[in-house]
């Protein structure tokens, strides 16, 4: 029998935040972890949209019409916007949208339980390109039962609210969200 049980997680650094865990526990004080305990799966999901008429007005959430590969602890109903988490943890969220040039004054952001996730509001302004990639990403702590959406948060510096509509590309996958539980 080993004299010590070593548990080491490598460091993860993102946006200046470093998560690191290192623990050395004498075997006499802790039971030896079984392979089934060590390999508990982490949650993940790939959810996307392929409808040609996808838009998001100010305050509206982006809907996704298809579910890709998903673990059991993340739930999404096709043709809806809410993603529900059944397991607490730290998650990496990456949203990718392909917008048309009609999108001029707006912003996309992550909302958790209806509240803006700080640091995720990305402004949109037209560059004149036909199609543009829009990315919203974050590493956030999520509790069991939390609901995540991607929403058109608008822009306070623009008075023409009617023009703050996000228009997504007409063909192919035009919006997707990838979710990975880190710990």
Kindly give the confidence (pLDDT) of every residue in the chain, 183 residues in length, as a single tens digit, with 9 standing for 90 and above. Answer: 444 333 333 344 444 444 444 444 444 444 444 444 444 689 999 999 998 778 788 788 999 999 999 999 999 999 999 999 999 999 999 998 877 656 566 778 899 999 999 998 877 665 555 666 778 889 999 999 999 999 988 765 445 545 566 767 677 888 899 999 999
Give which of 76, 43, 45 is closest to 61, Cα–Cα.
76
- The DSSP-derived string for 20-33 is EEEEEEEGGGSPPP
Q: Look-up: residue for tokens 């058109």?
A: 152
What pLDDT is attached to residue 32? 47
Domain spans of the chain? Answer: 4-38, 44-181
For 44-181, give the CATH class. Answer: mainly beta
- The DSSP-derived string for 131-156 is EEEEEEEEEEEE-TT-EEEEEE---T
Question: What does pTM read for this prediction?
Answer: 0.71
């Amino acid at each position: 029998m080993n004299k010590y049980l070593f548990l080491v997680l490598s460091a993860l650094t993102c946006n200046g935040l470093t998560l690191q865990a290192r623990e050395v526990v004498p075997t006499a004080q802790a039971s030896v972890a079984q392979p089934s305990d060590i390999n508990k799966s982490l949650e993940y999901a790939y959810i996307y949209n392929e409808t040609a008429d996808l838009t998001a007005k100010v305050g509206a959430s982006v809907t996704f019409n298809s579910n890709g590969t998903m673990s059991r602890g993340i739930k999404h109903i096709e043709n809806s916007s809410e993603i529900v988490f059944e397991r607490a943890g730290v998650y990496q969220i990456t949203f990718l949208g392909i917008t048309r040039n009609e999108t001029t004054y707006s912003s996309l952001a992550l909302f958790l339980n209806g509240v803006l996730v700080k640091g995720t509001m990305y402004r949109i302004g037209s560059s004149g390109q036909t199609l543009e990639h829009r990315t919203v990403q974050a590493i956030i702590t999520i509790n069991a039962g939390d609901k995540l959406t991607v929403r058109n948060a608008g822009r306070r510096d623009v008075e023409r609210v009617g023009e703050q509509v996000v228009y997504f590309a007409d063909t192919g996958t035009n919006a997707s969200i990838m979710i990975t539980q880190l710990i």
